[in-house]
Chains A and B, each alone.
Chain A
Amino acid sequence: MRALQAFFSPNAWNVFRRNLLAWQKYAFSSLAINLMEPFAYFIALGFGLGAYLTLKGHGSLVQFMAPGFMGFTAMNTVTFDSSWGGYERLNFNGVYESMVTAPVQPEEIAAGEYLWEAFRAVMYGLLFLCVIALFGLVHSWLALLCPIALALTGIMYAIPALWVAMLVKTQEHLFYYFSFVVTPTTMIAGVFFPLDRMPRWLQDVAWFTPLYHAVNVFRALVLGTLNWNNAIDLAWMLASIAVLAMLPVRTLRRRLSN
């Protein structure tokens, strides 16, 4: 409840504003770098590998991967920004320390970071949506609802990334999170290939992966196949946010009180 209140506090929006001001100074390079990489993989896999195969029951590979890569792009940019940046703001420049020296609460800092990452996911995700629209891979006006799902994806991935950033002792240890958590779960999230021919247990594991649900929703919006299963996906996303949102706050408060 307190986490929810914090989203509406003026200082959460001031933390958001801080990140926006910082981002504006390198907006172009940030957009270029964060979009080029997924775009390159998407083109290579979608049109390259995709030229040799179609997915039984799912159509062309490039069509399958288009909404998946949108989710992947949003997740990637949020994960890196929230963890790498959060670590610096806590440990290097006294940014968080200065905030709590002013009357800003740790939950307002976290809420501001979540709001920022939601915005970031929407920005980068929508740019990717424009790209796949240009390739004629968007088939429904429901795609206009993508920002809502992108924002949820942003918050959903900002929470663990920020938490890990508050926990690790050195910045390089963040790569454990990237390599051992983010990358493997991304592989089974239905970004690159469908899961219906995978072993049952792998599908069960995938169900616990945040990106799996996000990608289900993106695919439904882009193809216009929204159904009640997607309501479960959205509920899963909202529930994970509600359950985990305070986790980084506790760690941040501890780190800022000694």
Chain B
Amino acid sequence: MSPAVLARRLTKRYGALEAVRGIDFAIPPRTCFGFLGPNGAGKTTTMKMIYCRIARTSGDLLVLGMDAARSPKEIKRRIGVVVQETALDPELSVLENLVLYARFFGIGRADAERSARDLLGFISLDGKERSLIRNLSGGMKRRLMIARALVNDPEVLILDEPTTGLDPQARLLVWEKLDSLRSEGKTLVLTSHYMEEAARLCERLVIMDEGRIVTEGTPNELIAEHAAHDVLEVTGRDAAALESVALDGLIRRRERHGETLYLYNADNRSLLRRFSELGVEPERHVARQATLEDVFLNITGRELTE
């Protein structure tokens, strides 16, 4: 199957600033594809080029087989977009927001109203038809943004940080809705800086940093490649002690950041057993599985880059 979105050497420059620096990616249809990275990595700029809001500087970009520069109108008809900042019309009711948006796609009034009511059911906002936007919670607004992006039954749904700023319950509800959209066969393209979110939702993802794609793969591949199965975090005095102990064959890598020593290894329990045999068992430690967070931080650095 041809990719839903295909980019080759895609570049966006704003004057002297190169926001996206020649990235390549192919998003397979009917999957959830994630763009991870810190703020300023170029994720939102990439999304804006995909949904034809801004023009690329150079490179190729095909969305559903169509050139983003040549066929923006046709592309917009077949995709849905949830932008980062809530952009609902505050002067219209919940239902009016959906119906009007559907009419922008040439959908007639009766059809627009019927599908708007269905969508309100889908995102669990039934009974809120006449509410004004300012009376909705943050999670409701975000779900309404998702519903609005679905009015034209898009093949590709682009979500720029769909859960940023939501509380855990609200985030969970958004995830459920995105799960069911994916199982309906829609292609989801999302950006996030939550590792948990990407691991939970995405089949494939890329990690971006400073306008480049630094790695790509499935969540598990990336963890295996860039972290390890387990991580032992050792803090305090033991960290300094363990930093110089020879641990060849026991760990894949060790990293010291501030007071914490990160030991990437295959199995925390056998590592700890070995430590107690060696008499170097650390007092203060956290034994956990490696996550995408570790991959992310390994690649983009643990220091604050802003």
Contact = CB atoms under 8 A, between A and B. Distances in A.
A258 B17 CA distance: 13
Contact of B53 (A11, A93, A103, A257): A257
A104 B104 contact: yes
B91 A25 contact: yes
A97 B86 CA distance: 11
Contacts of B83: 94, 97-98, 101
Contacts of A97: 53, 83, 87
A10 interface: yes
Interface of A is mostly: helix
Interface in A1-50: 10-11, 14, 17-18, 21-22, 25
Contacts of A94: 83, 85-88
A95 interface: yes
Contact of A101 (B81, B85, B86, B103): B81
Interface of B is mostly: loop
Q: Which of B14, B86, B104, B105 has the most CB of A within 10 A?
A: B104
B251 interface: no
Contact of A258 (B54, B81, B86, B103): B54
Chain B residues touching A, range? 20 to 34
B76 interface: yes
A100 interface: yes
14 contacts: A14-B104, A17-B100, A18-B92, A18-B100, A22-B92, A93-B89, A100-B53, A102-B76, A103-B77, A103-B105, A257-B53, A257-B55, A258-B14, A258-B54
Contact of A98 (B14, B87, B91, B105): B87
A101 B53 contact: yes
Interface residues of A, number: 22
Contacts of A123: none
A137 B109 CA distance: 44
Interface of A: 10-11, 14, 17-18, 21-22, 25, 93-95, 97-104, 256-258
A49 B90 CA distance: 44
Contact of A102 (B54, B91, B105): B105
A98 B148 CA distance: 10
Contacts of A101: 51, 53, 76, 81, 83
A258 B51 CA distance: 13
Contacts of B106: 10
Given A103-B77, A258-B14, A21 B92 contact: yes
B304 to A, nearest CB: 27
B67 interface: no
- 4 smallest CB-CB distances across A and B, nearest first, come from A94-B87, A22-B91, A102-B104, A103-B76
Contacts of A10: 103, 106
Contact of A257 (B51, B54, B89, B103): B54
